Amino acid sequence: MSGNVKVVFARAFKWSPDGHTVLTFGPGEAEVPLRCAEVAAQAGVLEREKPSSAKSEPRPKAKKGKVEA
């Protein structure tokens, strides 16, 4: 039993469900078959999800001066 899932494409992606017909998805959100989502993830064309509640923390600044061993 295969269902559809929602994904967000970072760039255009072409996929063939049967080896003959080619479906083209543009950048943005789309509802696609599970296998299409798996292939797109492996190809690296999906947007990476960022947790909405997580805020990016600033990186600590490099310390200048002598390096102690």
- Residue 48's pLDDT band (boundaries 50, 70, 90)? confident
Residue identified by tokens 């600033």 is 58
Which conformational region is residue 28 in: left (phi greater than 0), alpha (psi within -120 to 50 degrees), or beta?
A: left
Task: Tell me what the mean pLDDT of segment 5-31 comes to.
Answer: 96
- Residue 47's pLDDT band (boundaries 50, 70, 90)? very high
Residue identified by tokens 């798996």 is 38
Q: Domain limits of the chain?
A: 4-43
**Which residue spans within the chain are E strands per DSSP?**
4-9, 13-15, 23-25, 28-33
52: tokens are: 């909405």
- Residue 69's pLDDT band (boundaries 50, 70, 90)? low
